[in-house]
Structure 1
Amino acid sequence: LRDTKQIKMELGFVEEPENTWRLLRCYFPSKVGGKPAWLDPEHLPSVDDMECGCCHKPLVFLLQLYSPNDDKLDSFHRTIFVFCCTNGTCYSSENDAFPFKVFRSMLPKENDYYPADPPDYDEPNAIRECSQFTNLCGLCGNHGVKKCSRCREVQYCSKDHQVFHWKLLHKYQCSKPKDENNEVEMEKSILFSEKELVIEPEPTAPKKENTESEFENLKNHIQSGDYTEEELNDAVANVKSDKAFEKFQKQIAVEPEQVIRYQREGSVLWCSSENIPSKIPSCECGAQRQFEFQIMPQLLNHLKVDHSIEGPTIDWGTVAIYTCHDDCNISPYIKEYCWLQHFSKEAI
């Protein structure tokens, strides 16, 4: 178990799982893609909660981080879930309805779903302890509220996923034995490939470089009449933007494959000086939220997002996740806050 109160920055890396059964919920996994391994398997987010804030289509599971908090009994088990939209147009939207949803779920050591003793992570039979409590969507793994009217066996979170599943696969399988190979092919067509997230301490960061000389040069230019005041303001903005991107590049160059930067109560490594939030909304309980982790652009490589096709695609510079400072437990899945930042045009 990892303590979320750790001080040093930790990095997340995507790896192929040695055993896929270790990504099931009873092993408290950190993972990318596939279907969510719900911590509380009974009281899931509603269908409305799982809609994109831009296009209102169902979201797809992106990743989850198991991050217990040793300072609170209610947070003995604690997982952060991130869902995203697969509609690339939503990522170019200029409104605040970002195509992401974040949920935090917590359970005490003594609960209705897991034994108090930790599972044997080398024993696949531990899954016998993890029966399914809630019907799940046959396509994405979110809460299923609709049934196939024909077989009455497969459930769906929305009409969109029911129609998609029917056209792609279910019409060939309805009321027939399940074809596991086709099911795998189907999941790959809408879900991201399932991989394990491995967390390690960040190596020593490179030394910071002194940037005062650049601003001194600008100051000397304006005093010598080389710049107008408007030109100076533009130049200063460009230097700041370049420096934010330069710092971002130098920091990730230490571990280029990092997809997560985790440090509760730490600081975001912004990829641009533009579009940084001035204030983070408080939690529903009234407490302030704090930074917990950020998702790096390298993750897009593992999601196999094709940026060569025409039209907008899934894209981000970084996605910062903020969670309740008090780690409240006001509901089984507490909505948290995230901020999407793209690379500045000057940096591209």
Structure 2
Amino acid sequence: MCSAARPGPVLLGLRDAVIGAGSRCSWETSKVGGRPDCVPGITMQYPHCPRCSDPLIHIVQVYCPLEGSAYHRTINVLACLRPECCGRSDSWKVLRSECLETPLNQEPTAKKMVPVPVTVKDWCPEADDWGMEESWGSSTEGVVQTPAPDSEREVIEQTSRLEALLLEGAEGQGLVSQSTVPEFQPFYISVIEEEDSHSQSNFKHEQELLAEYQRREGVCVEQLPLSSCDGEGAPETYEKSQVQHGDRTFNKFMKRISSCPQQILRYCWNGSPLLLSPLGMESAASMCELCTSPRVFEFQLMPALVNMLKGSGSQEQSVEFGTVLIYTCQRSCWSRTNQTPVEESAFVQADPDQHFFNRY
């Protein structure tokens, strides 16, 4: 069962080199800003805000294939620029696109694919490839192939041939837009494991900002409890601390990111998000609208990203948020005949202390 899949390590996305004007990126590139790079065979109609009808602006593209899947996988996140819209979850769009790792013209096989439980790919040895233009590639490790019984073989062959016929000559149109759309200055995303960030936290400026925050709020961040990504371990017990705004969830957030305040993205598929404020009656998770499987947390955008989003050229654009939680189908449901992205879910939390991050 997919629900048994354990979350992997927490990966932190950091700002890397600026993508120069005229540079071409691959859909296998993780980046901030620019325009979405469409997966082969996909037609992506540029989305508009359902509230004001303005074209959305591309925030981030993450290449994130899953272990146990024969598909490449890319997620694009877009948002509305209007201040009255960008703080609302329904003014954000999350588009998941996939394509087969095996070329479509490959001779169909008479074997039945039996996937193992879906877990996040082992990115650790390849983590530094985030933000690089060359392909990461993808493997089918963890996918068990067992010959289908004779009674099933003919049906499987016929199905494979039918899918091949449907896809033969089907070329995706890529990104389709009816008008000029706004863009943020693009830059690559590099990645480190959260554990490694503790040994790379000699950032004088960031530590000065953290000390300033502690003086202003009257709290020692280092004394606040720290929870794990997958929520395991003993229940947390909070020590009494005099925090000016009294928000323990926010201070736990600050504790967790204190070793790497410049992180712009946190990735932990099927893990637990790092919340800025407690969830009330609302629920961030939802059900997949295609297969009705539950959606699971995959990654979140962090407050430090807000001040790094710059308009291209002389354009002045901004999107304000605290953190944006991205939830995707637990099964990552996809058909070989899909030619448009699958829409997933975004949940926006406002930042109770945004000015702390505005100086990065």
TM range (shorter): 0.5 to 0.7
Offset, 1:104: 0.9
More strand per residue:
2
Residue identity in the other structure for 1:266? G
Query: Contact 1:32–1:194 at 8 Å: present in 2 too?
Result: yes
1:57 lines up with 2:54 in the alignment = yes
Query: Contact 1:80–1:103 at 8 Å: present in 2 too?
Result: yes
* Equivalent pairs, count: 251
Q: Deviations over 1:6-58 (max 9, x none)?
A: 611000011115888885226x1001111111113x432335xx111221211
Query: Contact 1:277–1:339 at 8 Å: present in 2 too?
Result: no
Offset, 1:78: 0.8
Residue identity in the other structure for 1:341? Q
1:72 lines up with 2:69 in the alignment = yes
1:108 lines up with 2:100 in the alignment = yes
Residue identity in the other structure for 1:79? T
Unaligned regions of 5+ residues in structure 1, if any?
114-120, 125-132, 137-141, 144-156, 165-189, 218-234, 306-311
Offset, 1:274: 4.9
Offset, 1:335: 0.7
SS of 2:67 mapped into structure 1? coil
Q: 1:82 to 1:275 in 2, by over 3 A?
A: farther
Q: Deviations over 1:256-290 (max 9, x none)?
A: 11000000011111111255743622112111100
1:290 lines up with 2:296 in the alignment = yes
1:83 lines up with 2:78 in the alignment = yes
Match of 1:326 in 2: 331
Offset, 1:341: 0.5
With normalisation by structure 2, the TM-score equals 0.60
1:342 lines up with 2:342 in the alignment = no
Residue identity in the other structure for 1:292? E
Match of 1:35 in 2: 35
Residue identity in the other structure for 2:296? Q
Match of 2:110 in 1: none
More helix per residue:
1
* 1:162-311 matches, cutoff 5 A: 190-203=182-195, 208-209=224-225, 212-214=238-240, 239=246, 242-274=247-279, 277-278=282-283, 280-284=285-289, 285-304=291-310
Distance 1:20 1:207 in 2: 45
Distance 1:293 1:346 in 2: 20
Q: 1:158 to 1:342 in 2, by over 3 A?
A: same
With normalisation by structure 1, the TM-score equals 0.62
Q: 1:278 to 1:18 in 2, by over 3 A?
A: closer
Residue identity in the other structure for 1:244? T
Distance 2:353 2:261 in 1: 22
Match of 1:8 in 2: 9
Distance 2:184 2:293 in 1: 34
Residue identity in the other structure for 1:71? G
CA-based RMSD of the aligned residues comes to 3.8
* 1:91-102 matches, cutoff 5 A: 91-92=86-87, 97=90, 99-102=91-94
SS of 2:34 mapped into structure 1? coil
Q: 1:37 to 1:346 in 2, by over 3 A?
A: closer
Offset, 1:304: 3.0
Match of 1:150 in 2: none
Distance 1:52 1:78 in 2: 24
Q: Deviations over 1:209-266 (max 9, x none)?
A: 3754439x9xxxxxxxxxxxxxxxxx9xx64xx1111111121121111000000011
SS of 1:16 mapped into structure 2? strand
Which deviates more, 314-323 or 16-25? 16-25
Q: Deviations over 1:287-346 (max 9, x none)?
A: 1100000000111121137xxxxxx96211100000110111043411100100002489
Residue identity in the other structure for 1:14? R
Q: Percent identity?
A: 28
Match of 1:228 in 2: none
Offset, 1:158: 2.8
